[in-house]
Structure 1
Amino acid sequence: MLIHLEAGRFCTSIDELNSIAAEYTDSDEYFQGFDEHFPFYCPNCGVEFSRLSGLYQHVEMLPDCQYLLEHDSCLYDLERHLDDELTE
């Protein structure tokens, strides 16, 4: 879903998506600032990403990081927040 959003297929720009993710309450757990070349990072292993979708792909594929998508984890909560913000 995030790849499609980043591509602008749902009337959302990558800048808007990144801004929503950065402004979220728990963003300090996965976001290190727009002035960074790789603003997103995995809170479990520290791998950095230029796009939010890259972070989610990483977490989905690595068993040690998948817990970040479970209920009440930062990326689970972010996904719910993005859904709420983008469907208003």
Structure 2
Amino acid sequence: MASLTIDDLDDDVMRRLEARAKEHGRSPADEVRALISSKIDAEPAGATALRDWDDDKERRLQRILSLGRKPHQPFDQKAYTDELWSFVE
């Protein structure tokens, strides 16, 4: 069985871990094992990152596609340009 050592663990984190372990009737080591197991079993590795990447990819695609669509309202390019350059006057 594998072993893991965590160096420089904050004292407050250790106190909270010990309190949590006591609530569950476990040793701190058993509590850490349970926490790690529950986190790893909750979602396959990389699934969250992949889902976020897919969502971001879809948003970027829709943004690019929207650039080629006609505007919903008539667009007066002259008025828009005049407004942009109004600070020069």
Q: Which has the higher strand share?
A: 1
Q: Which has the higher helix share?
A: 2
Q: Normalization by structure 2: what TM-score?
A: 0.26
Q: Normalization by structure 1: what TM-score?
A: 0.26
Question: Which protein shows a greater Rg?
Answer: 2
